[in-house]
Amino acid sequence: MASLHFLSLLEQPRERLKAIVDRAGELKARWKEGHRDPLLAGRVLALLFEKPSLRTRVSFETAMAQLGGSSLFLGKEVGWGEREAVADFAQVLSQYVDAIVFRTRSHRRLVELAQHCSVPVINGLSNLAHPCQALADLFTIRELFGTFEGVKLVFVGDGNNVARSLAVGCAAFGVEFVLAGPPAYQFSARFLESLRRTYPEARCAQTDDPHAAVRGAQIVYTDVWTSMGQEDQAQQRRAAFAAYQVNRQLMQEAGPQARFMHCLPAHRGEEVTDEVIDGPASVVVHQAANRLHLQKGLLVWLLENRE
């Protein structure tokens, strides 16, 4: 039986990912016509965050409000990780709420929490994966190009949580994925093996040459060089990634068809220049807006399909 949780895209059946993206499209169309269907009336979502967030937190809270439900942002007072055992915390919280979004420093903690929860746990970002972001990005890509066919996405920079989830999402939807980054920051052999085990037909490559990689790409995507929790490595990472900035020259090398994506928040002047992120090829605001719609699709799907 498929897990009731949503921890990483690799654990999700491809059909489920497609169903969530399609549901998001239907809900967005209704929303654009002015409807706020109360599909989750009386349902409550808890948000437990160990790291800061604008997009993930606000889009989930807004999604619940627009669907007629409500959300609880759990602050330090609940004593997460300090006051009682994870098992006790998880079992009790599951008595009150219908789903939990967890943003964590440690993917292992996410798995541990989920093991003890009897309601769906959604990964709101871990050190390993950011599945809600990637699925929202695939939704945006389909809106931009009307199809996944013939789309090539080049991720320039760190093979991090966002890149990993995007690589899996691209494999699931048939999008070609290339990671262009310094060898020491590319995907591990272990990750690539699990990707290929799930999606043997995936077109997923990695290279240290961003110039050759971006040529002809529909999407040039980047994320910060230093993720949350890696602040002590910032200087060394700035040096390692200096040749991987997405700037005007790189976008020109990609070609006029290329769109620029970034999960945000951005470190302007590092992984991307102002000129690119504010320029005509950039879709970053549209991309961020779609977090709301995708998460509505996810919440409705998870709560309507609970065994």
The residue ranges that bind ligand NVA (CB under 6 A) are: 125, 160-162, 223-224, 227-228, 263
Residues from 265 through 284 that contact ligand CP (CB under 6 A): 265
Give the C-alpha separation, 15 to 176, whole Å. 19
Terminal-to-terminal C-alpha distance of the chain: 9
Q: Active-site residue 36, yes or no?
A: no
Determine what percent of the chain falls in helix, strand and coil, rounding each to the nearest 5: 50, 15, 35
Concerning whether 278 is annotated as a catalytic residue, the answer is no
Q: Which does 54 bind (CB under 5 to 8 A by kind): ligand CP, ligand NVA, none?
A: ligand CP
Residue 262 annotated to the active site: no
Which residues, numbered 9-68, are part of the site for ligand CP (CB under 6 A)?
A: 53-56
Q: Which of 132, 170, 204, 263 is catalytic?
A: 263
Interface residue with ligand CP among 144, 240, 264, 289 (CB under 6 A) is: 264
Is residue 223 among the annotated active site residues? yes
Q: Which of residues 113-142 bind ligand CP (CB under 6 A)?
A: 125, 133
The Cα-based distances of 281 to 132, 138, 213, 219 in angstroms read 23, 17, 18, 10
Q: Which does 71 bind (CB under 5 to 8 A by kind): ligand CP, ligand NVA, none?
A: none
Ranges of H-type helices in the chain: 14-32, 55-66, 86-96, 107-116, 131-145, 161-173, 189-198, 210-214, 234-240, 248-254, 274-277, 284-304
Best CA proximity match to 185, nearest among 111, 248, 236: 236
Question: Between 107-116 and 86-96, two packed helices, what is the crossing angle to 10 degrees?
Answer: 60
Q: Which does 161 bind (CB under 5 to 8 A by kind): ligand NVA, ligand CP, none?
A: ligand NVA
165 interacts with ligand CP by CB under 6 A: no
Residue nearest ligand NVA (C-beta atom):
227
Catalytic residues: 103, 130, 133, 223, 263, 291
List of residues contacting ligand CP (CB under 6 A): 53-56, 125, 133, 263-265
